[in-house]
A and B are shown apart, each in its own frame.
Chain A
Amino acid sequence: MNGCHAEPGAACGLPLPDTHAEQLVELRRKGETSRRGLLAGAAAAATATAAAGCDITSVDQFLQKHYTELTDDDKKQIFARLEAQVKERSGVTVKIGDPQPIEGVTFGYALNLSICNGNRRCVEACARENNLPNHPEEMRYIRVLEVPNGALELEKSDPYFEGEVPKSGKYYLPVQCHQCANPPCVRQCPCEATWKEPDGLIVVDYDWCIGCRYCQAACPYHARRFNYGAPTIEPDRINPNQAYLSNRIRPVGVIEKCTFCLQRTRVGRFPACLEACPTGARKFGDLNDPNGELRKILATKRVYVLKEDLGTIPHFYYFFA
């Protein structure tokens, strides 16, 4: 697929900072570098950052540990700070939680292409659930492609279709993060700001992401989005039920993407896109549950994954039934 033409925020917009990557590799090799010395430098950097009008608001935030190193107390403090930030900026009281993966569960998604009619209700519900900005830096996690029947080359697809659906001679292919078992995006991240969780979900620590966008370029499904601007969400559109690794309001300059609504799914609920689909094309569940819908679909329907030859092993399946 041609990134430039098909993809908002595709890697063609800004040059990737190659030289920074080299510096970075250097730094990572020198693991023994004195942490203290660098932290001193970091404090200065934090001040510089604040002065530059970046979204990082405090030295605290700048020095925050990686998600996987946070203790429960750290989390409490950080979440409180983030909640206060939203309150201050928008007047809305939000609750940031951190629901954990469920023992023995691997999430999967299956989408029925014989049923989907391209109505984009999923796109809108996703935007609301996940606090996606509205204007002017609009971005959406789900893209619905209108593809000519029989076409396999997605280059021929059109995400900008309008007018009554379904149109004859077309089928509709919604694309969002495939939560790959072998995720190329994660491998590209120079600082472990994005990783695979035990339940198979690929997440981003927005406070750790540096916005280099290597992951975005690496994703064969164009599923990652970059925050070019500060979030602009009308207060009445803010969903107050938030999670640290998913739909909390993101700062400018970081990468984000679909997490199968982990703020919902890890407490047992269906993703917002599924519930919003009037056709019932979307199916979600635990791939490890032998009696679950997903396993039934995998066992009895014609199932496909996109770009199978790349070896990404998506947990997002397409089927016909």
Chain B
Amino acid sequence: MAKPVPLALGLCAVLVAACSGPPERKLAPAQASAREITIELSAEHWAQFPCTQCHEKGGANTTERPLTEFHTNTGLRHGSVGGWCYRCHSNQDPDKLHLTDGTLLPFEKSYELCSGCHGDRAIDWRAGTHGLNVGYWNGPQTRRTCTLCHNPHRPAFAPMQPEKAPNLPRTMAAKEGARR
């Protein structure tokens, strides 16, 4: 690579020296904050919806047991949450979730369910400091619902394969090559 450094150096230094102060900088006008939040839902997880296709209202077998015929992949492992599936799902209305006080929630509002037990995280999520908001930092944003990142049945964030590691710097790569 033949970059003529000394000549370029001279030129740039002199042009700067010759300049008589930069022209006035025009900034972009300030905008009022207009954060509208749309919640991105996990509708793709609802393939088995509506649950009432198979489940009668109030007709569930609420005894905790391993499921062998259906929903065998639920693999429930959610802390010490008692009450099995019905801690969150409603027997009274199988298409709904419910809070501790019995309030029914549609699946779209599952974050309200999580908020009931994970208050701190939920506050952060609403403040935009836990979870992911995309779009405009001062305008419309799309906020991911909890269940897009945490499977409600096994909520630990799943491990991932990383993107590939960076290349070694040339100087090091050359040395590695020489060693081999």
Chain B, range 66-117, C-beta contacts under 8 Å to A: none
**A119-B139 contact in complex given A100-B27, A103-B30, C-beta closer than 8 Å:** no
The CA-CA distance from A88 to B111 in the complex, in Å, is 52
Instruction: List the 8 closest pairs (A to B, CB-CB), nearest first.
Output: A280-B132, A120-B163, A8-B169, A191-B12, A68-B22, A45-B7, A103-B30, A31-B17
The CA-CA distance from A208 to B27 in the complex, in Å, is 22
**A198-B27 contact in complex given A54-B4, A321-B124, C-beta closer than 8 Å:** yes
B10 and A27 form a contact (CB under 8 A): yes
Q: Which of A12-20, A78-86, A180-188, A237-245 is the contact stretch?
A: A12-20
- By a CB distance below 8 angstroms, the chain B residues around A169 are none
Q: Decide if A76 is an interface residue (CB 8 Å cutoff).
A: no
Chain A, range 192-240, C-beta contacts under 8 Å to B: 192-193, 198, 208, 210-212, 228-229
**A27-B7 contact in complex given A162-B162, A269-B136, C-beta closer than 8 Å:** no
CB closest residue in chain B, given A144: B162
Q: Which of B44-52, B53-61, B153-161 is the contact stretch?
A: B153-161
**A23-B3 contact in complex given A101-B27, A164-B161, A297-B129, C-beta closer than 8 Å:** no
CB closest residue in chain A, given B30: A103
Classify the secondary structure of B's interface with A.
loop
Number of interface residues of B (CB under 8 A): 60
Q: Decide if B119 is an interface residue (CB 8 Å cutoff).
A: no
The CA-CA distance from A66 to B20 in the complex, in Å, is 12
Sample 26 A-B pairs with CB under 8 A, ordered by A number: A20-B6, A23-B9, A28-B13, A33-B17, A45-B4, A48-B4, A100-B25, A101-B27, A101-B28, A102-B30, A102-B31, A115-B130, A118-B162, A160-B166, A161-B165, A162-B162, A252-B1, A253-B3, A268-B31, A270-B134, A270-B136, A270-B137, A278-B149, A289-B33, A296-B127, A297-B129
CB closest residue in chain A, given B173: A8
Q: Decide if A306 is an interface residue (CB 8 Å cutoff).
A: no
Task: Choose from A115, A165, A274, A289 the contact partner of B160 (Cβ within 8 Å).
Answer: A165
B169 and A9 form a contact (CB under 8 A): yes
A103 and B25 form a contact (CB under 8 A): no
Q: Decide if B178 is an interface residue (CB 8 Å cutoff).
A: no
B5 and A20 form a contact (CB under 8 A): yes
Q: Decide if A178 is an interface residue (CB 8 Å cutoff).
A: no
Chain A, range 247-291, C-beta contacts under 8 Å to B: 252-253, 265-266, 268-270, 274-275, 277-280, 283-286, 289, 291
Chain B, range 1-42, C-beta contacts under 8 Å to A: 1-19, 22-23, 25-31, 33
A283 and B7 form a contact (CB under 8 A): no
B137 and A284 form a contact (CB under 8 A): yes
A270 and B18 form a contact (CB under 8 A): no
Chain B, range 115-152, C-beta contacts under 8 Å to A: 124, 127-139, 144, 149
CB closest residue in chain B, given A17: B5
Chain A, range 18-66, C-beta contacts under 8 Å to B: 20, 23-24, 27-28, 30-31, 33, 35, 38, 41-42, 45, 48-49, 52-54, 62, 65-66
The CA-CA distance from A65 to B16 in the complex, in Å, is 9
B19 and A69 form a contact (CB under 8 A): yes
